[in-house]
A and B are shown apart, each in its own frame.
Chain A
């Protein structure tokens, strides 16, 4: 089998997320490449939560609507998702919770509650029990599952194994999934990949106030803080978050902050301050559907305009939108490096679709990340924090240094950092702040800031950014189209974009927002799109969704013919 999908669903509080992680790992052991789509409401208990675990022979970063197997822990899972069945018989359900129609009796129903009682296990372990049943249903040996459970659970391991074994014994084989002969790769969420990337970039401190979809970065870094000697702090508000981070930055400590749109609103005065005072800081902006509170636990690409324009005044900023785990790791590290090299704020645009989905992560496929050093003070002349230089970047010194007085300032200031209202100084400083952008843009020519995927000779191309890459690349593959994916969004990589556009006659912009923000952005640089495919219901595109939209537009491969 080249590929298949499993859906597991139940109420929030049933441990669906944990279960999907276990299933993902289980299939990962067989050498499949995994992608997990997670869908859950904004509440603690109840509601409907489900995950789709997709396994494939090749790398994937999108889910499919149709699934091969459904694990239903409650009625809603069955009712809401039965339309996804490829084969009516391939589902396992809790006989005590789910009533299926007569036409569905061929599914595998099991009294999970009864099994748990007999095994003297708590109610929450129904997920483990149904995973046991799944392992048998796909023809695995129990020891594969046992090993995975040992890795996934830190407590009650023996009981979980016992419960899984019961489910396994009570089950029967439905579809045999053959192992593949390829090495298994680690599984990471996009958020974990961002966290590792920040660490790779030299992270010293992570300051954050909880907000979906970025909170998992805070949780993950807090958990591994000791391993990497990090200061992980959760202060009273996002305002405090960014100002605290700037305090760290002033002291020469590399700091990052994470939030979503609402928290970023509160951070904008700090962002502008970072621009003016030339204090490096990395901001992870996990987008979600808005305006305002919107759909907190769902996905959208709504903050590109906001990230580009947030904060008063004019200053240089770096904005990057990675699409999958490898890009998240690589560009988070690069973002930290660039932020320090140019003493500017760097923004990593993420969303729930990237942050909370699970991907395979191949560290060997990530490009080399060079360590960048900030320019240090030569100690020859007296220290000036804002020394005017050719590229706008002033040498750094940090407290305590007995030979340097280090003054940063939110006002217009002179080279030493003292407030000034002098028009000449004001002009010099403004030019210094903006000159950095030119040098940063030149520097970025050494990186692949615009990626081209699919059929490079196709005249028809999909344009996408961030987490939509996965669905666009796979769709384009089926249709023989080209895909253009700018990763750096500011400074906009005009040269590389121009190159990517060579030979393109029809450009279709695919975005998870209602106003096609990237299409607007490229217009500033003289490019235009011919059509847009937009989804703004809070859900990312599935493979089928985008294929359908492409079909509606009649998108087919066209190649330029000569002669």
Chain B
């Protein structure tokens, strides 16, 4: 099968060494493979928020919805509900998904709606030049917190598990093969999936060395088991030094929102004027 060209003419404006390149390359590989395995590219819609991460949709020659800050999730949900046959992949930053838009993330997980969220979690605001985010460690010195933050980070995977997400994984921007593998799994998973990517911002929070020393791939982990998943998710709290597990934490298949929500598809066959007149007669 001919290799599909997934790039666009848009000039890439990420900093050299930016962790976003790994996500871009991994998603290109994942989409190429999924296409070869029978998922037509026209059935894929990419959604992004606003931030460095979001430029990814300009760099991919695939249907896309370049949305606004914090709002990737509801857009993705609307697209999915409009046509459940479409695969919807949302890209969002940590400030975007875990900050401004966390309410949507919690509810999408609660619904177990079949969309995939890929979080470019660099734990710093890049495009607005270096402020702390919901996952920055305690005492992080950013431009809005020059004395260091006075609040602990959240553990997004723990929140997602508690909210009802049915696929949870983590990768890093050093590790494209693993990223490709979990992106594919997440996209193919039927239900709400989220991949937290420890994507490094070389300019404002260069964590390559820190992560390289601590990451390990999950082995002998039963990702069907909620409590094993919870334990592994809690091993590192995005603050204190601890081993950082990568790979699939949790995967469970339960009915999705679309399964339960009766989607009607026979719009064309309904004589609306007749139905309206019928209902009007009843209201005399």
Contact = CB atoms under 8 A, between A and B. Distances in A.
Contact of A243 (B10, B58, B78, B107): B78
Interface stretch (B17-25, B181-189, B275-283): B275-283
Given A240-B74, A419-B66, A229 B82 contact: no
A399 B78 contact: no
Contacts of A326: none
A251 interface: yes
- Size range of the chain A interface in the assembly: 35 or more
Interface in A251-279: 251-253, 255, 269-270, 273
Interface in A214-265: 224-231, 233, 235-237, 239-241, 243-253, 255
B283 A186 contact: yes
B275 A244 contact: no
Contacts of A417: 64, 66
Contacts of A407: 57, 63-66
Interface string B244-277: 0000000000000000011111110010110111
Interface string B140-172: 000000000000000000000000000000000
A538 B92 CA distance: 43
Nearest to A237: B103
Contacts of B45: 250, 399
B65 A250 contact: yes
A252 B267 CA distance: 13
B195 interface: no
B40 A243 contact: no
Interface residues of B, number: 57
B82 A205 contact: yes
A409 B68 contact: no
B210 interface: no
Nearest to B85: A400
Main secondary structure of the interface of A (DSSP, over half): mixed
Contacts of A207: 78
B284 A28 contact: yes
Given A199-B272, A228-B270, A408-B66, A247 B76 contact: yes
Given A237-B103, A399-B42, A407-B66, A184 B284 contact: yes
Given A199-B276, A400-B40, A247 B86 contact: no
A404 B10 CA distance: 18
B77 interface: yes
A270 B67 CA distance: 9
Given A231-B81, A363-B280, 8 more contacts: A243-B74, A244-B74, A269-B68, A363-B276, A399-B42, A400-B63, A405-B63, A409-B66
Interface of B: 8-10, 40, 42-43, 45, 47, 50, 55, 57-58, 61-68, 71, 73-83, 85-86, 103-104, 106-107, 261-267, 270, 272-273, 275-277, 279-284
15 contacts: A185-B284, A188-B283, A192-B283, A205-B82, A228-B272, A233-B261, A237-B103, A240-B77, A243-B68, A243-B71, A244-B77, A247-B47, A247-B74, A400-B63, A408-B66
